[in-house]
Amino acid sequence: MEDRSIGHRDLALGFWDLGFDVIALDDQRRLLALARRALDARVRRQPPPAAERGGALDPPSSVFVTIHNRGELRGCLGRLETRAPLAETVVDLAASVADSDPRFDPVSLLELPDIDIEISVLTPERTIHSIEEIELGRHGIIAKQGARRGLLLPQVAIEHRWDRETFVSHACLKAGLPRDGWRRGAELLVFEAEVFGERDLAAL
């Protein structure tokens, strides 16, 4: 039987058919370089860089920017349903994640050499009616009820080795719902993402 298990690098290199044009490696590098400059500028209290244009950097896209310090999560912020060009959104998020994720203290100047950046560009979301529709590693999940909404990126399930029920339960908790909120009327939506990071591209 063919092994369909995937790792973080598979996600980063566009392993799945995402339903949109895969972002070329050159554009991935440009976006990561912009994010790095924006993050460094915020930490150093300098003006942000101007967003570049051209190629995949121009169309509006939902996107998340995640930072790690020596493999440990250090911040993650995203924006959905934006009308701004992708590059502009990445610059804004990479600057903000340095000091605006309420779960973490601001990134210090001494930390910068140990910080690595990851970008997740999202597809449009769609409603599902059973957790059996979730493909772990391929799908991110949104749990939504009323004004409450919790989102987890596709790579989270892989990194934590979660099964479907655990993945959905954590999305409910992130939305401020009970763990079994998905059994109590919460709407579940899935999306896909093209994920690429500094560590992944450095290995190419």
Domain assignment present for 202 = no
CB atoms closer than 10 angstroms to residue 161: 8
Q: Give the model's confidence band at 13: pLDDT under 50 very low, under 70 low, under 90 confident, else very high.
A: very low
18 or 111, higher pLDDT: 111
The letter for the amino acid at 15 is F
* Identity of the residue numbered 1: M
CB 65 within 8 A of CB 37: no
Residue 119 and residue 148 in one domain: no
Quickly count: other Cβ atoms within 10 Å of residue 175's Cβ. Answer: 21
Span 127-144, mean pLDDT? 96
Q: Please give the pLDDT value at position 22.
A: 81
Model pTM? 0.85
List the beta bridge partners of residue 141.
Answer: 152, 190
Residue 116 has phi, psi (to 5 degrees) of -120, 150
Structure confidence by residue, pLDDT tens digits, 51-61: 999 989 999 99
Last residue of a domain, one of 100, 123, 146: 123
User: Which pLDDT does position 8 carry in this prediction?
Assistant: 38
In 3D, which of 43, 12, 203, 51 has the Cα closest to residue 114? 43
Instruction: Check whether 44 has a pLDDT greater than 70.
Output: yes
Confidence of residue 81 (pLDDT cuts 50, 70, 90): confident
Q: Are 158 and 137 in contact (CB under 8 A)?
A: yes
Q: Alpha carbon of 89 to those of 29, 30, 78, 143, 179: distances in Å? A: 16, 13, 9, 24, 32
User: CA-CA distance, 143 to 186, in Å (whole number)?
Assistant: 6
- Do residues 143 and 76 share a domain? no
Residue 17 lies in a domain: yes
**CATH number (domain holding residue 66):** 3.30.700.20
- How far is Cα 163 from Cα 197, in angstroms, rounded to an integer? 24
Q: What's the confidence (pLDDT) of residue 202?
A: 81
- Domain count of the chain? 2
Find all residues with CB under 8 Å of 127, minimum gap 6, and list them: 187, 188, 189
| Domain boundaries, position 83 | 8-123
Residue keyed to tokens 């000091």:
99
Query: Could you read off the pLDDT of 192-202 as tens digits, one per residue?
Result: 999 999 998 88
Burial status of residue 127 (CB atoms within 10 A of its CB: 0-12, 13-18, 19 or more)? exposed
d(CA 199, CA 182): 35
Average pLDDT over residues 14-30: 72
Residues 92 and 48 in one domain: yes
How many residues are present in the chain? 204
pLDDT at 14: 40
Contact by Cβ (8 Å): 86, 60 = yes
